[in-house]
Structure 1
Amino acid sequence: MMFPVVDQRDREIFDTLSEVYAALRAKGYDPVNQLVGYFISEDPTYITNHNNARALIRKLDRDEVLTVMIKRYLDIKD
């Protein structure tokens, strides 16, 4: 089954955030707090290197991630 590019990219963002969340949790961090700190400051030290999480999240565009998150939260469909 083929998904539209937007849906596929949304899925890639979701998968990456899930992996980063799991890595932060595995290291004993508060994942939500660390992710918020990262997105506000773009300081990569908020994200652990465990399981390559820092490299993964740095591949994402912050504005694109925030756009997807807000649309999902507000259940906006384009």
Structure 2
Amino acid sequence: MQDLGNTQFFKVETDNTSVKQILADVYAALTEKGYNPVNQIVGYIMSGDPTYITSYKNARSMIMKVERDELVEEMLTEYIKSSHWK
């Protein structure tokens, strides 16, 4: 019988794909399908509607694993790193 007096640990294996890599993969899939990737990703971030992202190469499933605010954070971080704002 299980001891209910102690805290049990539960570990979930997660996909360690970075937000940066997911954005790169989604961008590539959208480009390959002939979409404007910037417009499509912005549409998704603004609305939350996953149909802005193609299902080609599993792009829609990948981007939905990440919270939209995390996508914005990653893009802003990379923009600031590449600029001379420092």
TM-score, normalized by length of structure 2? 0.70
In the alignment, structure 1 segments of 5+ residues that lack a partner are: 1-8
Over residues 27-63 of structure 1, what are the superposed CA-to-partner deviations in whole Å (9 max), with x where a residue is unaligned? 1101111001000001000000000000000001111
Instruction: Please name the residue that 1:52 is paired with.
Output: 58
CA distance in 2, matches of 1:68, 1:23: 19
Matched, 1:65 2:65: no
Higher helix content, 1 or 2:
1
Matched, 1:18 2:8: no
Aligned to 2:35, the other structure's residue is in SS state coil
Identity percentage over the alignment? 50
Shift of 1:74: 1.9
- Give the ranges of 4+ consecutive aligned residues of structure 1 lying more than 2 Å apart after TM superposition: none
Structure 1 vs Structure 2 CA RMSD: 1.5
